[in-house]
Amino acid sequence: MNSNEQPLESLFEKAEDYSKTTLEVIRLKAISKTAEVLSTLVAQMALLVAIALASLTINIGVALWVGKLLHNIYFGFFSVGGFYTIIAILLYFFKNSWIKIPVRKGIISILFEQ
């Protein structure tokens, strides 16, 4: 029986080592993909903040310029505000096709990238 037990024990040890290694590989891949997704999101957020600050500065300038053309500063701010209200309404109605679906596809493509 000893001769049969030794190969069987060795087989069980190898199977155990294989399963541990497989789990470790899965864990490392999950960590890698999570880090990749988070780093992409952080980079996108940093870019979004920079664009928002630039946009804010430009919008104030445009509002002041339009207000000067209309001879009332507040008309310029109302015009710029109305423009962004129209954009917000369009985004509300088309948010799935313009934002949600492309973001989902981007995250899925990162996750399944080999």
pLDDT digits (tens, 9 = 90+) for 25-59: 999 988 988 898 889 889 999 999 999 999 999 99
Report the pLDDT value the prediction gives residue 105, as an integer from 0 to 100: 87
Question: Nearest CA to 35 among 114, 111, 109?
Answer: 111
Please give the residue range of the domain that contains residue 20: 2-111
Report the pLDDT value the prediction gives residue 78, as an integer from 0 to 100: 95
Question: Nearest CA to 59 among 22, 87, 19, 34?
Answer: 87
- Number of helical H runs and strand E runs in the chain: 3, 0
Strands (E), the chain: none
Quickly state the pLDDT bin for 3 (edges 50, 70, 90): low
Specify the higher pLDDT residue, 110 or 77. Answer: 77
Relative orientation angle of helices 101-111 and 2-69, to the nearest 10 degrees: 150
User: Residue 4 pLDDT > 60, yes or no?
Assistant: yes
pLDDT digits (tens, 9 = 90+) for 63-93: 999 999 999 999 999 999 999 999 999 999 9
Report the pLDDT value the prediction gives residue 36, as an integer from 0 to 100: 86
Report the pLDDT value the prediction gives residue 114, as an integer from 0 to 100: 60
Residue 71 falls in which region: left (phi positive, over 0), alpha (psi -120 to 50) or beta: left
- Token pair of 17 as six digits: 């080592």
Report the pLDDT value the prediction gives residue 72, as an integer from 0 to 100: 93
Number of domains in the chain: 1
Q: What's the predicted TM-score (pTM) here?
A: 0.63
